[in-house]
Amino acid sequence: VYACEINDYLRELYIKNFKFNPKRIDRDIREINLDHVPRYDVLCAGFPCQPFSKAGTQSGFSHEIAGDMFYYILKFIKAHKPKYLFLENVPNLYRHNNEKTWKLEMKPRLERLGYDIEEEILSPIHFNIPQTRNRMYILGTNLKKTEEKIKWPVIPKTNNNSLRKLFINNPKKPRPLT
């Protein structure tokens, strides 16, 4: 029902791929009037990972550009109290600042808003997709609005041969990547 994306090209993709009404896509989360956002049951959001990534500054909430984005997501949650939350970020978010960022700041804030919170590190490889890209996924159920908890996807049992068919058995001139 709604999207917020600062990148002009990606906003155009929302319109094209999801048949979004351009009036339902805002540019800057800092300038949104939450009263104009339609009601929804599921909040699906990712917030910038640079403040928490091992590849980034690891400056957390004090990151000059993106450190406060989680707090804007909290404003959406407080305003609309959706039944479910589905959030995504880098796996280092769990360990960031000796695990204090997630365990002592973010997770307790979501729980104080009435959500049962679970987190999991998952990768496409867990679903037999030949790519390894670990991400931290956060599921939240608003226990005041529903008794039916959001459930994790069932990870298929890996068949050791399922990915082998994708590999070349005897590659010619293999070389390591730097």
Q: How large is the greatest C-alpha to C-alpha distance in the chain, in angstroms? A: 61
Q: In what order do the strands lie in the sheet with 84-89?
A: 42-46, 84-89, 135-142, 115-122
Measured between alpha carbons, how far is 96 from 100 in angstroms, rounded to an integer?
Answer: 7
Measured between alpha carbons, how far is 79 from 84 in angstroms, rounded to an integer?
Answer: 14
Output phi, psi for 43, to 5 deg. -100, 120
Mark out the alpha helices in the chain (DSSP H runs).
Answer: 8-18, 69-80, 92-95, 100, 107-112
- Annotated catalytic, 44? no
With the CA atoms of 86, 89, 91 and 94 taken in that order, what torsion angle do they form, in degrees rounded to the nearest 10?
Answer: -70
Q: Which of 4, 29, 49, 110 is catalytic?
A: 49
- Active-site positions? 49
